[in-house]
Structure 1
Amino acid sequence: MSGRSEVAALPSSAALRAFLLDGVAPVGLTDILRAFGRPVRDKARLKAILHDMALSGALLDLPAGRLKTSIGLPETARVRITHIRMDGTPCGIMADDPAAASVLLQTLAPGLPFPLPGDTVLARLRPSCGNRRREARAERLLARTCETLAFARALDPNGTPMDQLWACNPQISGTFSLAEPGQYALPEPGEVVLATLRLMPDGALAVDKPAPYGHAAQAGMPSQLSLLTHDVPTCFSSAAEQEGQRIADLAAALQNQPAPDNRRDLRNLPLITLDDDTAQDFDDAIWAEPTEAGFHLIVAIADVSHYVPTGSALDTDARLRGTSLYLPDRVVPMLPPSLSANACSLLPGQDRLCLFADISITHDGEILHGTIGQGIMQSAARLTYRDAQDALDGNPLPPAHPIHALPPTLLGTLQAAGRALDNAATKRGVMRLEEDAWAITFHPDGQPAAFLPRERFATHDLVASFMIAANALAAETAYNNRLPVLFRVHAAPSAAHPRPAARYSTVAGRHNGLGLPLYTHFTSPIRRYADLVAHRAISAWCGGGRPTGSDVACAPLSGQDCSLASHLNFTERRATRSTQDCQNRLAAAFLTPLIGQNVNIHATTTTRQGLCVRLTKTGTPSLLPWSAFPDCARMNDDSLYGSIAARHTPHTQSGALLKAVLLATCPARGVSVLASPTHAC
């Protein structure tokens, strides 16, 4: 009887997890048994329980180093699938690793659904061999994006339709046969079908039960496919829509009312918004005046946190999206239009609650001091970058333009202050990268009409300098007061990572791209969830308190709790890829009439598969395979893993202008098939 009671008294998985989450000091088996009053002879049974917990994912959220390595538990991690290789191997990154180490899923647990890009799996990592990439076995599917995928007829290297399909998601490589070719027919070229991938008895993946979806070239399909393939949420819950409407009514009731006691009244300042022509979500406004020492700046930001509390339906939907998504012909906002284009948007002539950065700088752009407070403001004018630039250049604007109602020296003062901040940025070694943004115009029928390099005005840099100053001040405020924000960090380039990407982190770090010791996102809470997190923390601090609660968005963010940072890093990458994929599909449709003709391309980089290029007519990427070049000295033989090919690859300088023949296009996948002019058939 005593033996049975001792077995029953051993701590449960839930009790063990609660105990381990409650501390940070490293513990071993003996420490845990002592804490629960158990004898040392229970070590083996306790280790078995912890082993099962590790493989179930129950230990994923423990603080780093909480369990001593001497216990010998399997190393597990959340892995977010990023792409599927040509051989069908799923690849991903460790979702909670700040360095986002890559993982190759060599094997899958029996019965596990095949992981797709965007899915999150629990992986058991093999011992590290010194390489940055880890090999692993997928044990459990933690989060599924969508099992239904879009497919189209694949093209061979010469642009000829094949008797196989490829996924419209370019992150899934390879081609697939139909699982039941006798029951389902291949779609016609250009037609898109929805289907699932089935694992066949021979281990190959095949397309199962394809259903018609539409033609890839029809209006709106490029953006629709981009949203579908990346599983981007496009609809708000009914609860969120209702909350948004109530907030719109509350914002309307603010008009012409006295300023709340806890807010500074900024409605007497001629704050202005500067945005693109098509923008509807105005979340920042600026103003400046000259001083003896330099300039006095005010950057007012829409106070979204006042209307979107943690845990609300609006918060749930916004957190899931992570960021607004701007496609060439469509916007998927983070917040419903009742907020993003109305109640929270700094529309001209409308009273709006705000947070503001009050900054004083020298003539050289050095910050003398700055504070952040809560206020109420009213935008004096909504200006576009182009109109503001025309005014600064002395070009006449229509008499009815709102710019004429502004103080005549305001734009000049803003320009001078922006130049001062820009000069300071140059002194601290900011990295200035050439932007390669393109604007796409459309015919009335929704088809792409032209691809044009996006114009960059000095007023773009003016606004950017003000936003960087406000974001840096918010980061410094949060760091000095230990506020729970997500910092924006950017590692210095290295031999292993020559172009590291900026990312969100719970741990403060340097932003080397901007040359700043601390940085966060604070100035765009309408379109970025990380900014909303910062607003909540700083608003609570402005009110004399600290955020409270169990949610990571309002409780202090620890260095070990990376789930929110990981999610927002993912949604940021998802938005970038969705936009690029949409542009690639539009470019393929736009270039279709040029099939068989020569096109100009710029060389970018070389890979084992071929020369990566950028089409000069659309600015979109493509690949000129090595098979398109003369096969001198067996340059296309990769049997020695590229050692021969590398020695005989044509020496093409990055940026070199070349010509190629456009053999075919596939708008469904966003592919343009190219060949060398002298070797095209």
Structure 2
Amino acid sequence: MNTSLKDRLIRHMEDGHYEPQSKSELARSLNVDSRQKQDFRALVDQLEEEGRLVRLQKGRYALKREPRNLVHGMIRILRSGKILFIPKKEDPAAAAMGWDLEAIPELELKPNHLGTALDGDRVAVRVERKASKARRNDRRDRFARPDTGMKARVEEVTERARSRWLGVFRAGKNKLGRVLGDGIGSPEYIELVEKPAMEVLPGQLVSVEPVSRGEEKKAPRGKIVEVLGYPDDPHVDMESVIRKYDLPVEFPAAVLRELENLPKDPSSGELARREDWTDRTVITIDPASAKDFDDAISIKATPQGWTLAVHIADVSHFVKPGSALDEEALRRGNSTYLPDRVLPMLPPRLSDDLCSLRPDVVRLTKVCEMKFDKKGKLLGSRFADAYIRSKARLTYQEAFTMMKGHDKGEIPSMVREAWKLASILRRNRYAKGALDLDFPEVRAVMDKDGRVTDIITEEYDESHQLIEECMLAANGAVALTLKNKNRPTIYRVHEEPDSAKLFEFGQLCKLYGHPVHDISQRQYLNELMKSIKGSPDEQLLKLALLKSLMRARYDTEPLGHYGLATPNYCHFTSPIRRYADLVVHRSLDPLLANPPKGAKGPGSVSRLEEDAEHISETERTSASAEKDANRMKLFEWLEGQCFADHPEVHEALITEARHFGVMLEIPRLQIKGLIKPDQLPGGRWVYEAFANRWKNDHGSVLCAGLRVPVIPVKVDRDQQWADFTIASRGERGKPEKTAASGKRENRSTGHKRRPRQARKGDAAETRRKGH
């Protein structure tokens, strides 16, 4: 390489007035002799290969900028169109530029600063301080989130979230056609580069393999590799969700081979090492539809109070670190629950059989035995490997009947005794400041083809609360022990909410007439939530609070749990469906009364940090997929209601009156909609802009804050929007259908829910079964 020519080239490009040039332009600027031009071109190619130069549009070159101010993180594109950059925790580049990630946990990006990145992609973003600019002191800015003072631009996509794109095939002017994506996980417009090998018709949903991702302002290009069918075909909607989020379905061959080598029954030597609980009354309480039973309880009254034993399926006995089973479980991170199927973290041989605490079958467990006084104070806890033979498999309905009845017998008496303790623990939690965010949730009832036949409201009664409190107690006891013993593990953390978001929530509550003090202090927030309870606005405002809270995540530091008002919390009670719980079991092994031979724990802290970040992300991906899938089924049902003889009537809250109609929310369904002027019944209506209301010639008024009964008249399933009309008197008063079952996912605690399942593990966190 000609060193002097290289030095001249670098100096030329480092000049502050340099504008990117092509090879020919560079050669002319440097007066390169014609005999050296071939060597010069080779020099430029070599410097590009080494990463010193970067080729820009139209073959022009520039020095590759140093990675100063490049912060690594992830892109999130919301359905509203907002684009967020979420930085990697404790990124040194962010710290170097003085970016307080706790105060500003995310940055909003402009669409033209996104590059080729899509939702979920990991990126390197250049962050710079904005020039200071005085904000307008007008009414529109009063409640706006403070300006972060920073702007960001995606410089590089370091890891793609999805290997395939999803969209609808449309015939085009050329013979190949095009594919239209959602603009979130897939580009809005995809050019096809070749004719697909299979038949594809306009309007069908297809999977596309990217060829180019839209660099240099060109349209993204790809080729169709799979045809899913028409969006309305049975199960196509759920298949589209699976592909949209790249959710794993089949287990690798190596995992299946390991399953074949697992013994059906535990060895005599393994049983001899463990505590024998087969002669004690241990029971499970689960939904009627559950197939796996991963937790069980046993309780007895003592002169001091109670002794509660929580038994959890010992998944760590079967899934060893470094095995194919372990690697696949970590890759998945958690089970994903769609309305018509479950994508389990562990194969059914484990989740539904060997690790399922079935009645009258010997099963291996880890037991957390806790002693409480009569006021519900934890006096002490111990942990051991054990084996049980469950005496009964109760459904929630059966347990509820026993709690409210007077049946004699050991099991009904134990259920009532357990509720005595659980009710005290529950009361104590709320007294300490835990947030009460319980509210009903709707779920879809489907036929064998996956079509929605009905929507019902799920209930959450004392039988669910009983199990929840037992699981919360065990999770807290394990976390406290691991923290005090300084054992490396993964905690469940939920940090304090952003003050600006809490302020906005408080302003919303004021609009609904609730007294609001400084709700950044927990006592005032709890007072506000008490004032909301039982009001017509309760569900709407609880949902608003959920959106104001931080999302719970996993961390190697015990940072506390805001929603539960506890400094110590981890996930211990569901290792069948969450990898975090499996890690906690391994962390606990050396502290057991009878530790397994060679118990070492889960590994290094640095490895746990990587695992905690990974499973936090898989959880977010599953939550997004589940939310998408559930909303698909909800709008499918709403569309059917438009043509029903007796459509279900919903109570809606008017949020705004505009010239194009009345905007509303239906809290029960958690959706928004519109009543267009031509759907307003009862005479001639006129929009009064000065009062932001609609008024008819009979004196009736529709404005923000009013509640009206509505039925759907038109549904856009793609855009997930519905038009409504006010229900006539004959249609009003139809009772909502209910079912005893689970709850919604709660952002404050982070559990995900399974339809027809109930919560265990965190307050307002739901447990999901049915693998």
Could you list the per-position Cα deviations for residues 627-673 of structure 1 after superposition, in whole angstroms to 9, with x for gaps in the alignment? 9998765999xxxxxxxxxxxxx9633x944536532332xx47233
Counterparts in 2 of 1:168 and 1:329: CA distance versus 1, 3 Å: farther
Question: Counterpart in 2 of 1:74?
Answer: 68
Q: Does 1:203 align with 2:217?
A: yes
Question: Counterpart in 1 of 2:453?
Answer: 449
Alignment of 1:59-70 (within 5 A): none
Distance in 2, Cα, partners of 1:539 & 1:497: 41
Q: Does 1:101 align with 2:152?
A: no
Counterparts in 2 of 1:607 and 1:473: CA distance versus 1, 3 Å: farther
Counterparts in 2 of 1:351 and 1:224: CA distance versus 1, 3 Å: same
Could you list the per-position Cα deviations for residues 489-531 of structure 1 after superposition, in whole angstroms to 9, with x for gaps in the alignment? 2233453243323222221122121121211111111111111
Q: Does 1:194 align with 2:196?
A: no
Assess if the C-alpha contact under 8 Å between 1:663 and 1:674 holds in 2: yes
Which of residues 450, 471, 475 is equivalent to 2:475? 471
Question: Counterpart in 1 of 2:126?
Answer: 124
Distance in 2, Cα, partners of 1:199 & 1:128: 30
Assess if the C-alpha contact under 8 Å between 1:325 and 1:331 holds in 2: yes
What percentage of residue pairs aligned between the two structures are identical?
26
Question: Counterpart in 1 of 2:577?
Answer: 527
Distance in 2, Cα, partners of 1:285 & 1:659: 44
Counterparts in 2 of 1:388 and 1:661: CA distance versus 1, 3 Å: closer
Assess if the C-alpha contact under 8 Å between 1:385 and 1:459 holds in 2: yes
SS in 1 for 2:217: coil
Q: Does 1:151 align with 2:167?
A: yes
Counterparts in 2 of 1:149 and 1:662: CA distance versus 1, 3 Å: farther
Which of residues 290, 303, 307 is equivalent to 2:301? 290
Assess if the C-alpha contact under 8 Å between 1:485 and 1:557 holds in 2: no
Counterparts in 2 of 1:663 and 1:207: CA distance versus 1, 3 Å: farther
* TM-fit CA distance, 1:571: 1.6
Which is greater in Rg?
2
Question: Counterpart in 2 of 1:137?
Answer: 153
Assess if the C-alpha contact under 8 Å between 2:493 and 2:553 holds in 1: yes
Comparing 365-374 with 431-440, greater Cα deviation is found at 431-440
Comparing 288-297 with 444-453, greater Cα deviation is found at 444-453
Distance in 2, Cα, partners of 1:334 & 1:387: 29
SS in 2 for 1:125: strand
Could you list the per-position Cα deviations for residues 372-424 of structure 1 after superposition, in whole angstroms to 9, with x for gaps in the alignment? 2222222222211112112333399xxxxxxx985452222122221222222
Q: Does 1:428 align with 2:432?
A: yes
Question: Counterpart in 1 of 2:721?
Answer: 672
SS in 2 for 1:233: coil
Distance in 1, Cα, partners of 2:181 & 2:189: 11
Distance in 2, Cα, partners of 1:390 & 1:117: 47
* TM-fit CA distance, 1:612: 6.6
Counterparts in 2 of 1:82 and 1:493: CA distance versus 1, 3 Å: closer
Which of residues 632, 639, 650 is equivalent to 1:600? 650
Could you list the per-position Cα deviations for residues 319-365 of structure 1 after superposition, in whole angstroms to 9, with x for gaps in the alignment? 11111112221011111111111111212222222211110112221
* TM-fit CA distance, 1:591: 2.4
* TM-fit CA distance, 1:116: 2.2
Q: Does 1:228 align with 2:232?
A: no
Distance in 1, Cα, partners of 2:297 & 2:604: 31
Question: Counterpart in 1 of 2:346?
Answer: 335
* TM-fit CA distance, 1:600: 3.4
Alignment of 1:362-373 (within 5 A): 362-373=373-384
Distance in 1, Cα, partners of 2:382 & 2:677: 61
Could you list the per-position Cα deviations for residues 190-212 of structure 1 after superposition, in whole angstroms to 9, with x for gaps in the alignment? x3233367666883756754564
Aligned residue type for 2:119: P
Assess if the C-alpha contact under 8 Å between 1:613 and 1:622 holds in 2: yes
Aligned residue type for 1:382: R
Alignment of 1:314-333 (within 5 A): 314-333=325-344
Counterparts in 2 of 1:86 and 1:360: CA distance versus 1, 3 Å: closer
Aligned residue type for 1:80: M
Aligned residue type for 1:179: E
Alignment of 1:557-576 (within 5 A): 562-576=609-623
Assess if the C-alpha contact under 8 Å between 2:75 and 2:122 holds in 1: yes
Assess if the C-alpha contact under 8 Å between 2:75 and 2:85 holds in 1: yes
* TM-fit CA distance, 1:289: 0.5
Counterparts in 2 of 1:374 and 1:75: CA distance versus 1, 3 Å: farther
Aligned residue type for 2:181: A
SS in 2 for 1:409: helix
Q: Does 1:659 align with 2:659?
A: no
Question: Counterpart in 2 of 1:582?
Answer: 629
Distance in 2, Cα, partners of 1:458 & 1:508: 30
Q: Does 1:179 align with 2:191?
A: yes
Could you list the per-position Cα deviations for residues 35-71 of structure 1 after superposition, in whole angstroms to 9, with x for gaps in the alignment? xxxxxxxxxxxxxxxxx89x9xxxxxxxxxxxxxxxx
Distance in 2, Cα, partners of 1:202 & 1:376: 62
Distance in 2, Cα, partners of 1:259 & 1:546: 14
Which of residues 275, 280, 286 is equivalent to 1:264? 275
Could you list the per-position Cα deviations for residues 96-121 of structure 1 after superposition, in whole angstroms to 9, with x for gaps in the alignment? 35758224455999xx9822222222
Question: Counterpart in 2 of 1:217?
Answer: 232
* TM-fit CA distance, 1:127: 3.8
Assess if the C-alpha contact under 8 Å between 1:585 and 1:670 holds in 2: no
Assess if the C-alpha contact under 8 Å between 2:653 and 2:666 holds in 1: yes
Distance in 1, Cα, partners of 2:398 & 2:600: 44
- Give the TM-score of the pair, scaled to structure 1: 0.72
Counterparts in 2 of 1:546 and 1:79: CA distance versus 1, 3 Å: farther
* TM-fit CA distance, 1:533: 0.8
SS in 2 for 1:319: helix
Counterparts in 2 of 1:199 and 1:264: CA distance versus 1, 3 Å: closer
SS in 2 for 1:535: helix
Q: Paired residues, what number?
A: 565
Which of residues 371, 375, 381 is equivalent to 2:392? 381
Distance in 2, Cα, partners of 1:419 & 1:365: 9
Aligned residue type for 1:663: K
Counterparts in 2 of 1:199 and 1:427: CA distance versus 1, 3 Å: closer
Assess if the C-alpha contact under 8 Å between 2:589 and 2:600 holds in 1: no
Aligned residue type for 1:285: A
Assess if the C-alpha contact under 8 Å between 1:365 and 1:423 holds in 2: no
* TM-fit CA distance, 1:302: 1.1
Aligned residue type for 1:664: V
Aligned residue type for 1:453: T
SS in 2 for 1:126: strand
* TM-fit CA distance, 1:128: 7.4
Could you list the per-position Cα deviations for residues 523-564 of structure 1 after superposition, in whole angstroms to 9, with x for gaps in the alignment? 111111111111111013323999759xxx522359xx7432
Distance in 1, Cα, partners of 2:191 & 2:572: 50
* TM-fit CA distance, 1:81: 2.2
The runs of 5 or more residues in structure 1 that have no matched partner are 1-51, 56-71, 155-162, 397-403, 637-649
Counterparts in 2 of 1:134 and 1:674: CA distance versus 1, 3 Å: farther
SS in 2 for 1:91: strand
Counterparts in 2 of 1:481 and 1:230: CA distance versus 1, 3 Å: same
Assess if the C-alpha contact under 8 Å between 1:604 and 1:613 holds in 2: yes
Counterparts in 2 of 1:677 and 1:386: CA distance versus 1, 3 Å: closer
Distance in 2, Cα, partners of 1:620 & 1:221: 24
Distance in 1, Cα, partners of 2:413 & 2:126: 63
